[in-house]
Structure 1
Amino acid sequence: MREWWVHVGLICIPLLAVYLHIPPPQLSPALEKWHSAGEVFHFRDRKIFFRDSYGALGSSDVVILLHGFPTSSYDWNKIWDPLTQNFHRVIALDFLGFGFSDKPRPHKYSIFEQASVVEALVAHLGLTNQRVNLLSHDYGDTVALELLHRSDQNRTGHLNVNSLCLSNGGLFPETHHPRLLQTLLKDSTFLAPILIRLTNYMIFTKGVLQYINQRLKHRERWVGALTSTFVPLHMIYGPLDPVNPHPQFIRRYQQLVQKSTLTVLDEHISHYPQLEDPTGFLNAYFNFIHSF
């Protein structure tokens, strides 16, 4: 039996070594177009990709889009044009470690740093004194809550939040159910490097996955910001979400965040509502924005 495992290991190790050095695939035409429409700025010597589009005439409203894990600003591509038709300025970025932004390794990624990246972008674009609307998803929800905390507490003065719309984020550790792969990457020092390459997620690092632990550690800070703010709040929710399952998540949200309005989309919409139902998502968001 021992000899059998030795032979398997001798065969698999060189095959794995070859696979790990296969270069990443070329970008699709759609991603190339998205990339070419963006630009970069520097945050602590790291390059951060962002898009900044001017849209509706006669409006001064600005919306900043905060994407989820493990993807990028491209998550907003299906609703980008309609947003630019309704807002003066639409801005999205790839967080550090994601998408077209730099991916330093090793690096201790944190929600606090990502919030500072957003603040730095706001300052770079000359929007420090401008009240901005935040539209966030998943991982971006937690970054938005840190920004909300800083805005309400006047900690940095770099960003003034006019409104916040969240979507399908693990706001409450008690209702969050990470997928098996997320759990393995978060907790396993041995498996993480292998799984990163085998799943072809170039941003999957143990450091990035620590945001799940950070949500638990800083729950009072971020949930406290959500429950105490006077900023208009809305939640757009896809109820088939396996990470934040229905009805536990919504019950908890309504129990704790009583000042927020809520849109629950059709029952077949899951974790990425802006991609699965862009029309329903946009209708919900515009109804929220027009309500105040």
Structure 2
Amino acid sequence: MIPLENWRRKGQWFEHRGHPIFYIDEQRGPGPALLLIHGFPTASWDFSDIWPLIAPRFGRVIAPDMIGFGFSAKPPAYPYDLVDQADLHEHLLARLRVNEVHLLVHDYGVSVAQELLARHLARKPPRLELQSVALLNGGLFPETHRARLVQKLLLGPAGPLISRLNNPQRFARSLSAVFGPHTQPSAAQLDAFWKLMKENGGHRLGHRLIRYILDRRRNRDRWVSALQETPVPLRLINGPQDPVSGAHMVQRYRELVPRPDVISLEGIGHYPQVEAPEAVAEAFLTFVDAHAPPA
């Protein structure tokens, strides 16, 4: 695990809609680029355990904290939505002059990737060439996303109050509940996750960020069609013990996505890259090698 402060020291900043956004851009030389897109409610540090296992296979690895998350700005009145988060990633890649990229995405990030896949289909030629997309646990289909009680409360009229009541103990219980029974987060990991959430007052924004659930419903047809029609190679790497997007989501994926490429990691929950980094790295790198071997 890369310590949180070391992760922060690796970072840089750019502006999105006038707000400072944290990102890591590690360049190693020739070879393909990899973009890591994190989930809710955490940040790019989610990939810290898997980073040393996969980064050496790429010429460049890029990992931002989306607006509202991690070390990035968390403006209280910002209209947070997934389409804007896709814009943020496109703006960052354009700034870095990256035109071709592999994606490894998790949770909230799978919806950002679906929007990028939809844009890839619609633009002729595409502005950003997606070379492959590996999807970790996330709500690919609104009809299979089993929101936790706290998520339902945040989305309802009491959302602002629920956000104000957030504290380290409630956060730890809620996050631990989506991990596998034998791969629970350590006290140090939970402390780091909480610090990332609390940074810039983000622990009070849950009721605003949670509206991604509504974004998924509004964009369901566009984003599911993107999975079904894309020429970009896809692989789903899933922790089936996840109560939110586990085995039940995989079943729906197999029903809807042509020629589904699925890896299920027995005993693993919602955070495969944290719970089983070696297994995820192996599944991801063999997939990338099969479709576009790194130089």
**Deviation of the 1:245 alpha carbon:** 3.4
Distance across 2 between alignment mates of 1:218 and 1:155? 21
With a CA cutoff of 8 Å and minimum separation of 6, indicate the structure with the bigger relative contact order.
2
The 3 A distance-change label for structure 1 pair 155 and 241 is farther
Question: C-alpha offsets along residues 247-266 of structure 1, whole Å, 9 cap, x if unaligned?
Answer: x2111101111233111112
| Structure 1 position 182, deviation (Å) | 1.2
Mapped partners of 1:282, 1:165: distance in 2:
11
Could you tell me which runs of 5 or more consecutive residues in structure 2 were left unpaired when the two chains were aligned. 172-193
Q: CA RMSD in A?
A: 1.9
What residue in structure 1 maps to residue 88 of structure 2? 117
Cα deviation per residue 1:217-241 (whole Å; 9 max; x = unaligned)?
Answer: 1100111111111110000000100
Match among 14, 19, 42 for residue 46 of structure 1: 19
What does residue 274 of structure 1 align with? 273
Task: State the distance in 2 between where 1:205 and 1:269 align.
Answer: 25
Structure 1 unaligned blocks of 5 or more: 1-27
Q: What does 1:130-209 align with in structure 2 at a 5 Å threshold?
A: 130-154=99-123, 157-187=126-156, 188-196=158-166, 199=171, 201-202=197-198, 203=202, 204-209=205-210
Q: In 2, are the aligned partners of 1:63 and 1:132 still within 8 Å (CA)?
A: yes
Q: How many residues align?
A: 259
Match for residue 15 of structure 1? Answer: none
**Structure-1-length-normalised TM-score:** 0.84
**Residues 175 and 245 in structure 1, CA contact (< 8 A), matched pair in contact too:** no
Q: Which runs of 4+ in 1 moved over 3 A?
A: 155-158, 196-202
Q: Which residue of 2 is the match for residue 6 of structure 1?
A: none
- Residue 20 of structure 1 corresponds to none
Tell me which structure has the larger Cα radius of gyration: 1
CA distance in 2, matches of 1:29, 1:264: 26
Distance 1:156 1:185, change over 3 A: farther
In percent, how many aligned pairs have the same letter? 40
- 1:152 is displaced (CA, Å) by 1.5
The question of whether the paired residues in 2 share the 8 Å contact of 1:233 and 1:259 is answered with no
Q: Distance in 1 between matches of 2:153 and 2:265?
A: 30
Q: Which amino acid aligns with 1:216?
A: R
Partners of 1:162 and 1:231 within 8 A in 2: yes
Contact 1:150 1:156 (8 Å CA) reproduced: no
Could you state the TM-score of these two structures normalised by the residue count of structure 2? 0.83
Corresponding position: 1:242 with 2:213 = no
